[in-house]
Amino acid sequence: MLEEKLQQARLQSAKRMRHLIVALSIAAGLCVAIIIGISSLDVPLTTDTEALVPEKEGQLAVNPEQAREQFKERLKNYERQWEPLVQEANLALWNQRALSELEQRKQQAVTDFSVGEYRQALRGMETLEERAKEILAEKERIFTEELDKARSFLERDLYHEAKLHVEKALAVDPSSPQAQEVQHRIKSLPKILPLLDEAKVARVENNPEKELDRLRRVLDIDPDRSEVAARVEELTERLNDRAFKHHISAGLESLEQQRTQEARRHYLAAKTIYPTRQEVATLSSRLLAQERTIRVEAALNKANKAIRRDHWQTAQTHFAKAAKDAPTDPRVVEGLKRAKRILALQATLHGYSSHPYRLTDDHIRTSAETTLSQAETAAKFSFSLKKQLEGVTDLIARVNTKIPIKVISDNNTYVQVRGVGKVGTVLEKTIHLKPGRYTFEGQRNGFVSKLITVLIPYDRNRFTVEVICDQPI
């Protein structure tokens, strides 16, 4: 088919060439007659300046020297502008006859120029250029027609027909990016066609997953298939809708059955498909509420276990965690309040136990007794607090019970208890003091005074202190 078209093009070109030769012959005859007529007249030759006046477009130079220069310029222009285009047209592959014709015409023009036939050579160059334009125009026409046919067959997935016409297009323009792209797509048809067949079968079988898989594989091979892309989009939306509805339904069902982790998996899957849909927000709200409930119950269980072990610091930690999710839950509010109260009482009572002798001070003892009164109710919930309460109560009683103190001296030393009172000059005397720290002072004329600081323990029934000034001054 291509050869027939090319043969017709050659016949038309030959016909035009014959018409051109006849026209040139007539023009040459007229020129000879004009020259003979002019030579019979006694007209002086034109000056060099007149000979160089430019001729109208399409007319030949009347001056041989001018024709000579014009030929050289046109030959240079042909080799620079037209000859590369002719070479790119790949005539040797699809129109060897036209290539030979151009080569012969160029050679003839050069030959005419070499023997001094400048006007004839110039005419040859003009004809050569026109013929080159015709051949290149024919090349563009053939290329466009064949490429359009290849694309048409490609769109209908007709592999052999598309392959034939794209090869014809590349024969006349092998460097064309458009033809190469079409050829690349055509070469992928043997891989694509089986996938399209499988997709059609899957569609008949109402198997959208399989159809979508095959069509996506088609797009991986040839992304420019708009009809496949549209079908992929349609199937994707349909399957997404189906999967979305499944995950929402399954998620709600899982929540009803207290399977929170399973519900969260369905929620995340649905959110991935349609993150802004109202159903996702509804499922999320219910899921978060259930998760909060589970966290609160877990924290309360741990807190109660800690209470049973009398670990109130741990209990307070778990109550505080529960309060983040359920700050108004009465169990949380009361539990956190009780834990804080017991811990505060334990810390206060520990302070009294750590410094028992401060309890001899009336103000401190009164404060401690108030704390003990407050701790009586809380002690019902904490065995350790109850033990502390009993210990501090006993401690208060013991540190505020005076014990006998035997003071021994030499009957020459004057003895007194700083901040408490006088003992006097005695050999031995028993006084009564509350447990605590005291300073005994002894004085005697001519002797160095003596200070003795003692701690009278609360767990002793009696205590002895010896104060004698025996170091002379």
Q: Which string of DSSP letters, residue by residue, matches 272-329?
A: HH-TT-HHHHHHHHHHHHHHHHHHHHHHHHHHHHHHHTT-HHHHHHHHHHHHHH-TT-
Our CA angle for 172, 174, 180, nearest 5°, is 120
Any idea which residue has 């159809």 for tokens? 211
pLDDT digits (tens, 9 = 90+) for 264-289: 999 999 999 999 999 999 999 999 99
pLDDT digits (tens, 9 = 90+) for 404-446: 999 999 999 999 999 999 999 999 999 999 999 999 999 999 9
Q: Of 221, 228, 232, 160, which is closest to residue 192 (Cα–Cα)?
A: 221
Q: Which of 84-98, 122-136, 361-375 has the highest mean predicted lDDT (pLDDT)?
A: 361-375
Q: Environment class of residue 314 by beta-carbon count within 10 Å: exposed (0-12), middle (13-18) or buried (19+)?
A: middle
Whether the pLDDT of residue 7 is over 60: the answer is no
Q: CB–CB of 162/170 below 8 Å?
A: no
CATH of 189-276, one of 3.40.1350, 1.25.40, 3.40.50, 1.20.1630: 1.25.40
Any idea which residue has 């302070």 for tokens? 351
Question: Strand 414-417 to strand 421-425: parallel, antiparallel, or no bridges (unpaired)?
Answer: antiparallel
Average pLDDT for residues 161-172, to the nearest whole number? 89
pLDDT digits (tens, 9 = 90+) for 317-346: 999 999 999 999 999 999 999 999 999 999
Any idea which residue has 């005074």 for tokens? 449
What whole-number percentage of the chain has pLDDT above 70?
Answer: 87
Question: Strand 403-408 to strand 463-466: parallel, antiparallel, or no bridges (unpaired)?
Answer: parallel
pLDDT digits (tens, 9 = 90+) for 43-73: 232 223 233 233 333 444 448 888 888 888 8
CA distance 328 to 52: 110
pLDDT tier, 10 (very low <50, low <70, confident <90, very high otherwise):
very low
Low-confidence winner among 164-173, 282-291, 451-460 (lowest mean pLDDT): 164-173
Tokens of 405: 């103190």
pLDDT digits (tens, 9 = 90+) for 362-406: 899 999 999 999 899 899 999 999 999 999 999 999 999 999 999
Tokens of 12: 């038309």
Other CB atoms within a 10 A radius of the CB of residue 99 amount to 18
Q: Which string of DSSP letters, residue by residue, matches 337-375?
A: HHHHHHHHHHHHHHHHHHSGGGGGSHHHHHHHHHHHHHH
Low-confidence winner among 111-120, 261-270, 292-301, 315-324 (lowest mean pLDDT): 111-120
| CATH fold of 403-466 | Immunoglobulin-like (2.60.40)
pLDDT tier, 463 (very low <50, low <70, confident <90, very high otherwise):
very high
Q: How many angstroms separate the first and last alpha carbons of the chain? A: 147
Q: Environment class of residue 42 by beta-carbon count within 10 Å: exposed (0-12), middle (13-18) or buried (19+)?
A: exposed
pLDDT at residue number 429:
95
CA 241 from centroid of its chain's CA atoms: 26
Average pLDDT for residues 202-215, to the nearest whole number? 93
CA distance 351 to 359: 11
Q: Of 4, 8, 2, 9, which is closest to residue 138 (Cα–Cα)?
A: 9
Our CA angle for 375, 380, 382, nearest 5°, is 85
Reduced to 3 states, what is the DSSP secondary structure of residue 177?
helix
Sheet-wide strand order for 414-417 = 421-425, 414-417, 436-443, 450-456
Average pLDDT, the chain: 84
pLDDT at residue number 15:
43
CA distance 167 to 125: 33
Q: CB–CB of 417/433 below 8 Å?
A: yes
Whether the pLDDT of residue 357 is over 70: the answer is yes
Sheet-wide strand order for 403-408 = 428-433, 403-408, 463-466
| DSSP character at residue 424 | E
Helix/strand/coil (H/E/C) assignment for every residue in 40-68: HCCCCCCCHHHHCCCCCCCCCCCCHHHHH
pLDDT digits (tens, 9 = 90+) for 217-226: 999 998 988 8
Tokens of 467: 């104060």
450 contacts: CB under 8 Å, gap ≥ 6:
413, 441, 442, 467, 468, 469, 471
C-alpha separations of 322 from 296, 298, 325, 341 in Å: 5, 8, 6, 18
Any idea which residue has 């012959």 for tokens? 25
Q: Domain segments of the chain: what residues?
A: 2-165, 189-276, 306-400, 403-466
Tokens of 124: 């040859």
CA distance 333 to 184: 74
pLDDT at residue number 129:
87
Whether the pLDDT of residue 20 is over 60: the answer is no
Looking at the DSSP bridge assignments, the partners of residue 424 are 415
